[in-house]
A and B are shown apart, each in its own frame.
Chain A
Amino acid sequence: MNPEYFATRLNRRSFLNNVSVGVGSLALTSMLGPAGLAKPAKRSSLGVINPLHFAPRAKRVIHLCMAGGPSHLETLDYKPKLAEMDGKPMPRSITDGQPIAQLQGNKELKCLGPQHEFKEFGQSSQSISSALPHIGGIADEICIIRSMITQQINHDPAHTFMNTGALVAGRPSMGSWVTYGLGSEGSDLPGFVVLSSVGGAQDQPIASRQWHSGFLPSRFQGVHFHSTGDPVLYISNPKGVDAKGQGAVIDAVNSINRLRNKTVADPEIDTRISQYEMAFRMQASVPELIDTSNEPQHVFDLYGARPGDGSFASNCLLARRLAERGTRFIQLYHRGWDHHGGVKNGVLTTAKHVDKASAALIRDLKDRGMLDDTLVIWGGEFGRTPMAQGSGRDHHMKGFSFWLAGGGIKGGISHGNTDDFGYHSVEDVVTVHDFHATMMHLLGVNHEKFTFKFQGLDFRLSGVEEAHVLRKLIA
């Protein structure tokens, strides 16, 4: 099917959904002020899966993407055997024939023992690194997966695979799939938002394709919020133009567009009118979202955030505010986990940026009764080798760890295991597609039935091969 047709059809549909929320011929300028636009509005738009395939456990997703590839061996997967083998040669039987990134060409691969102690946390006695004490503090809320595998050993393709389920560029990201399927709960803010922060290691590049909508209609693209300048690109009025002036221009535009529509009857014009209204509302709702001055001090203390510092902690707080306002898919990139050297201090440093706020987000969501229907995902695009790369570790795709919380996930459990070296996932192996399938399931979507026709084929996020919903994880 012709995607252009499809996009048009969708836009028409979304228009029908939006028309009830549009302000019609009401002048935008009359909506200014605290009673008008500044108030976050709850207006939902339906997705294409309507009704959902089954009752959802989660309404929204917050993906805390630990970009760069955190070492599972220093965070969530303790390996006593590897400690014993520290400095000794890595058995060839494990590494022979395996793809290797920067360690390629090394004559002898040596084991590097875990660089941090692990402790048992919570009533569930989950084993978590002492470098992540706050995450340890929410041990009973989270499910640790220790048997992830992926198909890509370099950052850029591995992120692409994690986000789109495909190795070829041009496929929609999971946030786009989710908002396309489920729609958005709030129409004053985008349904798919991306935030990012740095600190703790070399900040790896992240391409905007990671939140691109691929062959899905463009409006399901992730909207990237920036910590400096305009939080959303082009959200501020031009210099010399006040809100009233902006509203007057938009009013004139929409009025003339309406006149035009009377002569040519083009549904694209209807959509265009509602998008200008939406844009104008975003010009108020985005600053309102970003302005955290109404948050009490104890909330800042909980997250360890300072207003407007662009940190991961601030982004976690914004993620909660977005979740409250109905954003469907919120993705936070912390680009600080690529510890090729000095993994010991590296993990510690990056953990200082991430640990407290990650735990705070879970606690805060729980306090507000939102954890039950918010799926939180914590993990990177891959893990790191049990073999030393100097004092660090190289990229590793055959075994790494994730944790999930909320949204129907059983807390206080772990799932799967790697071998004694933390090299291969060997028990209850979880593919990236299994993860996609499970996420979709929690959202009330049968991943096998959620497809999009492109170039004559039915594409789905969870890929070609059979993917499994991880039922053991679901409460």
Chain B
Amino acid sequence: MVIFFRMPFARQTCLAVAAALAGFAWPGDTLAVDKNPGAIDFARDVRPLLSDNCFACHGPDAKKRKADLRLDTREGALADLGGTSAVIPGKPNESELTRRITSDDEDDRMPPPDSGKQLDDRQKELLRRWIAQGAEYDLHWAYKPVTRPEPPSVNNGSFVRNDIDRFVLATMRDKGYAPAREADRRTLIRRLSFDLTGLPPTWDRMQAFAADRSPRAFEKLVDRLLASPHYGERMAVFWLDLVRYADTMGYHSDNVQTKPLYREYVINAFNDNLAFDQFTREQLAGDLMPGATRRQLIASGYNRLNMTTREGGSQPKEYIAIYLGDRVRNVSGVWMATTLGCTECHDHKFDPFTSRDFYSLGAYFADLEETPVGPQKYKPLPTAAQQAEVDESKKQLPALEAVLNTQTPALDEALAKWEAAQVKWTVLEPSAAASSNGTGLAIRDDRSILASGELPDVDTYTVTFKGVPTGTRVFRIEALPDDSLPKKGPGRAGNGNFVITEVIVKAGDQIVPLQNATASFEQTLANENNPYKKWTAGSAIDGDAKGASFGWAVLPKVGVAQRLVFEASEALESGGELAFILKQAHGTKHTLGRFKIFATAHAGKVTANSVAPPKKIGEILAVPFANRSDGQKKTLATHYRTFAPELADARKELADLKARIKQLEKAYPTSLISVRLAKPRTVRILPRGNWQDDSGPVVQPTVPARLNLANLEGRSSRSDLADWVVSKKNPLTARVMVNRLWALCFGRGLATPLDDFGAQGTPPTHPELLDWLAADFMDHGWDIKRTLKLLVISGAYRQSSTTDAETMDADPLNMWLARQGRWRLDAEMVRDNALAVSGLLAKPIGGASVKPYQPAGYWKHLNFPKRKWSHDGGTSQYRRGLYTFWCRTFLHPSMLAFDAPTREGCIAERTRSNIPQQALVLLNDPTYVEAARVFAERIVRNGGDTDDERLVWAFERALTRGPSAAERDILLRLAKERAGYFAANAGEAKAAATAGEWPVAKTLKPDSVAAWAAVARAILNLYETTSRF
């Protein structure tokens, strides 16, 4: 029983859900008239039909396959289905497929009516004939190895300039067309200049070219343009769209994440004609190259061009999955023109790729260091000059350090003097401690006294010390923090504070007179009633002259040690026992929690701020000089040199040098580059793309199984991936690239679209030519300039873009190349052209992104933080469009109007819309208004004396041709009418003649400039001005 077509059409099938829209026809072979249809070609004629109509249910995705029938392989189509087969070669009438596609029974018919798919009679006949001819399957064209076909021999001496033309002409004739005439020189130089540099030719260049009668004139022009530094800029626009270069993160707050070094790398790579395989390797794995250079590190920033987020509440795991998917889509889009993104959730419907392929390819990038949610880490990338300067500075370090590290006899002497001046404190040994109010005072092993237990409002501690050295002159009470105290002390008050209201020192019955009290800190808070205006050290030895409740206190600097230092008026004549009476009469429990008392016989001035040497140095100082070990002496000498006044100059010199190095390093340009993690992230196949589902198998990095040419196995790296991408065995990379270079020169690819070489794309119109170009590209070292030169030198390129109405109707898309393409300039070129014509264009190559005029408030929807667009001044205002700050969420509105992509994903082909916003931009955007004003100044200054002369001059400068009589009449009328208006309206004239920030030519009459600015605006708004033809 035949069951295979009886399964209901599944609505869930990915994407290929429903019908073409009413009135729209999709299949590629109906778009242009093939005047001589030939034999059936599986890849060209049959596979697209099967793919579009059948593969969704009978294709590579095993999960969605109906009736166990697959039609994407010959085995599948011929398989026994219980007595019959879908396809029986040579026997269309017995084949189930033929029966089903022609069935009148709605339940039987394929594709099922509710799928919305429908085969027309011609298509049904095609499938029938294919089966009749043997139902041969052929590998999908894009996966076949690249060969180098022989160019067909044709005879047309004037058209054929190189081998490209042999292919083009053979196909053209085959389809029943003839080449268009060669375009005139003015058109050719204009076309070449835009295609190769993105800028218009100057009038002088045009004239020189038109006058150059040498046979090599055209080639010389091509060579000159390919050698122009602006060539790299033009090509960068193409490349930056593919790799989604932008200056912001892309998600949510869309903060700045600029990478101008990468953009500059791309420009330079094209200008230096870096081989495309090397260009590829550097971007995918520059960081992994042995001895990676700065350029290669910057290039590896390719892997960091994806959108990232900082949004609070984002789940890192989710974003790691998102970034992985983003990279897979981009790599497969940029180099393979493959829609691998479809396999994030399921096996591909049309092409031989699986979910495993998606995640395995993603696993190559699991070694990249990145921040899943948050700002990304930038790496410093010094230029060679910057590096040399820092290296040079660093070379001076050792000599200076040596000076500071060398102990000399002079320093020994200085050290001895310094040592003599040091205060040597002795901790006094308490023998008894008593409280007048019941506080428990314990003597600790470290000779400190710790208060605990009873907590009276006021107290007086009496502590007796024994063995006080003779000659003692200065005392120090060290109030100490302790974990047992409130706020760690040193006081016992709830806030950690204390007040020592009076200190009395007694030797036997004798009171020792005290003087010169200082403290490490004196409290200034809560001093309203305090006659000292602060809680001074002095008030602790004033004999309570100004009141018994005032003394030394330390709030808020509690929790740390504080010192009170005071002198005996004379050194003690005899040592021995000494009693310290510490009155603490302030009240509210402001008593001391823990303290030690020190003494010294030091003769010089001692204050609380006399810096005590570090503990280790103090210990060495306590050892008599003769007893010190060599190690101790060395430590002491090293310590001394860190502040020795004798070395001050050397120290300053070193500090300055280090500061300078730091400053130089801070000025290093930075970029996001690839940095490899020691341990790559684990990558699993996510069932249905669900990042929370950990049930899928872990995968290792590997390339799509179907295209695993080198049989890569085990853990392979991004370098291996890059090698695979540019392997000559890889059928995709060279074809994809030459097809895109072709599109740059002809407006559409030989295979379309430029980003899908899969079964759903359209097979190439000129498969042999595409292969020949791909082979030539690889055979000549992936030389981009060589390929471009071949393309533009060709007779096909030089054709006129206008043709007869019949050809236009028969081949509206120009599939058979019987003319050149014509299209509106890309957004950047629209801008660059206006700036170039006006004379405003700033021409430096590379550098940071710039901000042209932009309407105020355009960024008001951005937040975290709020930000304002401040346009650049000076020449930065007039830079080429590719340097415009690329804000992904709010791309500059003029760029957006002309279809510049937001660069969120890979764009191989911009849309070319024709919308009223473009008119508003060209008419009213201050950039274009200013360009017209400055152009008008040039017209008035240089264009001659009469209106007529000026008009011709202006027209030639903008369009590299003279005006026709009719054009001249229209514009002269405008000039005259506006001149009249502005002569009568001085205010308006002044406003129009001063538009923009570019300095105004003050010697010119405003009404004249204003009138010519109107003409200049008209010229800059012409379709011809903004188009390539």
Q: Which of B609-617, B624-632, B970-978 contacts A (4 or more CB under 8 A)?
A: B970-978
Are A102 and B313 touching (Cβ within 8 A)? Answer: yes
B11 to A249, Cβ gap below 8 A?
no
Instruction: Assess whether B1014 is in contact with A48, with CB atoms less than 8 Å apart.
Output: no
Q: Does B852 contact A (CB under 8 A)?
A: no
Cβ-defined contact, A458 with B753, below 8 A = no
Tell me whether A88 is interfacial, beta carbon within 8 Å: no
Instruction: Please tell me if the beta carbons of A457 and B339 are within 8 angstroms of each other in the complex.
Output: yes
Does residue A163 face the partner (Cβ distance < 8 Å to B)? no
Q: Which residues from B are CB-within-8-Å of A212? A: 902
Query: Are A4 and B855 in touch, CB under 8 angstroms?
Result: no
| 14 cross-chain CB contacts under 8 A | A2-B748, A153-B313, A155-B311, A205-B861, A233-B917, A234-B923, A240-B993, A282-B920, A453-B26, A456-B339, A456-B760, A458-B18, A460-B18, A464-B12
| Residue contact B974 to A249, C-beta cutoff 8 Å | yes
In contact, B924 and A234 (Cβ under 8 angstroms): yes
Interface stretch (choices B246-254, B500-508, B597-605): B246-254
Would you call A242 an interface residue if the criterion is a C-beta within 8 Å of the partner chain's C-beta atoms? yes
- Which of B99-107, B549-557, B1015-1023 contacts the other chain? B1015-1023
Tell me how far the C-beta of A220 lies from the nearest C-beta in chain B, rounded to whole angstroms: 9
**Nearest B-chain residue to A104, judged by Cβ:** B315
Contact A252 B974 (CB under 8 A): yes
Task: Establish whether residues B920 and A272, one from each chain, have CB atoms under 8 Å apart when the complex forms.
Answer: no
Residue among A2, A49, A271, A275 facing the most chain B CB atoms (10 A cut-off): A2
Task: Pick from A101, A233, A448: contact of B17, CB below 8 A.
Answer: A448
The reply on A36 being an interface residue by CB < 8 A is no
A437 to chain B, nearest CB (A): 12
Closest beta carbon of chain B to A398's beta carbon, Å: 13
**Residue contact A234 to B313, C-beta cutoff 8 Å:** no
Q: Are A240 and B252 in contact (CB under 8 A)?
A: no
Interface check A140, CB cutoff 8 A: no
The residues in B between 985 and 1019 inclusive whose CB is less than 8 angstroms from any CB of A are 987-993, 995, 1010, 1014-1015, 1017-1018
Nearest-CB distance from A193 to chain B (Å)?
A: 13
Other-chain residue from B24, B805, B889, B1018 in contact with A265 (beta carbon distance below 8 A): B805
Residues of chain B within 8 A (CB-CB) of A296 are: none
Measured as residues with beta carbon below 8 angstroms from the partner, the interface class of chain B is 35 or more
A457, B760: Cβ atoms closer than 8 Å: yes
Verify if A17 is at the interface (C-beta below 8 Å from B): no
Tell which of B558-566, B577-585, B734-742, B907-915 binds the partner: B907-915
Is there contact, CB below 8 Å, between A276 and B919?
A: yes
A242 to B988, CA, bound (A): 9
Asked whether any CB of chain B lies closer than 8 Å to the CB of A207, the reply is yes
| Chain B: minimal CB distance from A450 (Å) | 8
**Which listed residue, A104, A252, A280, touches B970 by the CB 8 Å rule?**
A252
Please indicate the chain B residues that have their CB under 8 angstroms from the CB of A240 in the complex. 987-993, 995, 1010
- The answer on a CB contact under 8 Å between A449 and B313 is no
User: Would you give the 0/1 interface string for B778-812, flagging 1 where the beta carbon is closer than 8 Å to chain A?
Assistant: 00000000000000000000000110010010000
Given A3-B909, A242-B988, the answer on whether A208 and B855 have CB atoms closer than 8 Å is no
A279 to B, closest residue via Cβ: B919
Interface residues of A in 235-251 (CB under 8 A from B): 235-242, 244-246, 248-251
Inter-subunit contact B756/A456 (CB<8 Å)? yes
What's the Cα separation between A256 and B1024 when bound, in Å?
Answer: 9
Instruction: Report if A234-B893 is in contact (Cβ < 8 Å); known contacts: A264-B802, A395-B313, A455-B756.
Output: yes
* Given A1-B26, A238-B995; A48-B889 close (CB under 8 Å): no
Whether B429 sits at the interface, judged by CB under 8 Å, is no
Q: A104 CA to B692 CA in the complex, in Å?
A: 14
Contacts of B11 in A (CB 8 A): 448, 466
Which residues in window 214-247 of A have CB below 8 A to B?
215, 217-219, 223, 226, 228-230, 232-242, 244-246
| A301-B801 Cα distance, complex, nearest whole Å | 61
Residues on B with beta carbons closer than 8 Å to the beta carbon of A283 = 920
A33 at the interface (CB under 8 A from B): no
Q: Let me know if B855 and A233 touch, CB within 8 A.
A: yes
Pick the contact of A156 from B309, B916, B978 — CB < 8 Å?
B309
CB distance from A278 to the nearest CB of B (A): 4
Bound form: Cα–Cα A174–B721 in Å: 38
* Interface 9-residue window, one of A5-13, A111-119, A358-366: A5-13
| 9 other A-B residue contacts (CB within 8 Å) besides A208-B890, A240-B993, A276-B1021 | A49-B21, A99-B692, A100-B315, A205-B254, A237-B924, A242-B988, A253-B1022, A259-B964, A272-B919
B315 touches A99 (CB 8 A): yes
Q: Is B385 an interface residue (CB 8 A)?
A: no
Chain B: residues with CB nearer than 8 A to chain A? Answer: 11-24, 26, 28, 31, 116, 250-254, 307, 309, 311-315, 318, 325, 329, 339, 341-342, 345, 349-350, 692, 748, 752-753, 755-756, 758-762, 801-802, 805, 808, 813, 822-824, 855-858, 861-864, 888-891, 893-894, 896-897, 899, 902, 904-905, 909-921, 923-926, 929, 964, 966-967, 970-971, 973-974, 977-978, 981, 987-993, 995, 1010, 1014-1015, 1017-1018, 1021-1024, 1027, 1029
For the complex, what is the distance from the CA of A423 to the CA of B826, rounded to whole Å? 49
Q: Is A21 an interface residue (CB 8 A)?
A: no
B912 to A8, Cβ gap below 8 A?
yes
A260: interface (CB < 8 Å): yes
Contact (A169, B924) CB under 8 Å given A7-B912, A260-B1024, A279-B916 = no
B939 to chain A, nearest CB (A): 15
Given A202-B863, A256-B970, residue A275 in contact with residue B915 (CB < 8 A): yes
Residue in A closest to B973 when the chains form the complex, CB atoms? A252
Inter-subunit contact B253/A205 (CB<8 Å):
yes
Which B residues lie within 8 Å of A246 (CB)? 923
CB proximity to B under 8 Å, residues A396-454: 448-451, 453
Known: A104-B315, A449-B18. A249 touches B989 (CB 8 A): no
Whether A168 sits at the interface, judged by CB under 8 Å, is yes
Say yes or no: B913 contacts A252, CB within 8 Å.
no
Residues from chain A with a CB closer than 8 A to the CB of B307 are 169
Docked-complex contact A233 and B856, CB < 8 angstroms: no
Instruction: List CB contacts (< 8 Å) of A265-315 with chain B.
Output: 265-266, 268-269, 271-272, 275-276, 278-280, 282-283
Alpha-carbon gap, A394 to B864, bound state (A):
18
Check A3 against B914 for contact (C-beta < 8 Å): no
Question: What residues of A have a CB within 8 angstroms of the CB of B995 in the complex?
Answer: 238-240
List A contacts of B920 (CB < 8 A). 232-235, 279, 282-283
Q: Is the CB of A204 within 8 A of B863?
A: yes
Q: A255 to B856, alpha carbons, bound, how many Å?
A: 33
- Does any Cβ of B come within 8 Å of A324's Cβ? no
Say whether A253 contacts B1018, CB under 8 Å.
yes
Q: Which residue of chain A lies nearest to B924 when distances are taken between CB atoms in the complex?
A: A234
Query: Which of B753, B926, B1021 is within 8 Å of A1, CB to CB?
Result: B753
Residues of A1-54 whose CB lies within 8 A of B: 1-5, 7-8, 11, 48-50
CB nearest neighbor in B for A250: B923
Contacts of A230 in B (CB 8 A): 855
A415 to B748, CA, bound (A): 50
Partner of A465, one of B12, B897, B916, B1023: B12
Pairwise interchain contact B23-A4, C-beta atoms closer than 8 A: no
CB contacts under 8 Å to B, within A326-378, are 335
The residues in A between 115 and 167 inclusive whose CB is less than 8 angstroms from any CB of B are 153-157
Given contacts A99-B692, A156-B311, A255-B970, whether A223 and B339 have CB atoms under 8 Å apart is: no
Minimal Cβ-Cβ distance residue in A for B899: A218
What residues of chain A lie closer than 8 Å to B861, measured between beta carbons?
196, 205-208, 335
Contacts of A280 in B (CB 8 A): 919
Q: What's the Cα separation between A235 and B974 when bound, in Å?
A: 22
Please name all residues of chain B whose beta carbon is closer than 8 Å to the beta carbon of A455 when the two chains form the complex. 339, 753, 755-756, 760
When the two chains form their complex, are residues A449 and B858 in contact, meaning their CB atoms are under 8 A apart? no
A257 at the interface (CB under 8 A from B): yes
Contact A208 B889 (CB under 8 A): yes
A431 to chain B, nearest CB (A): 13
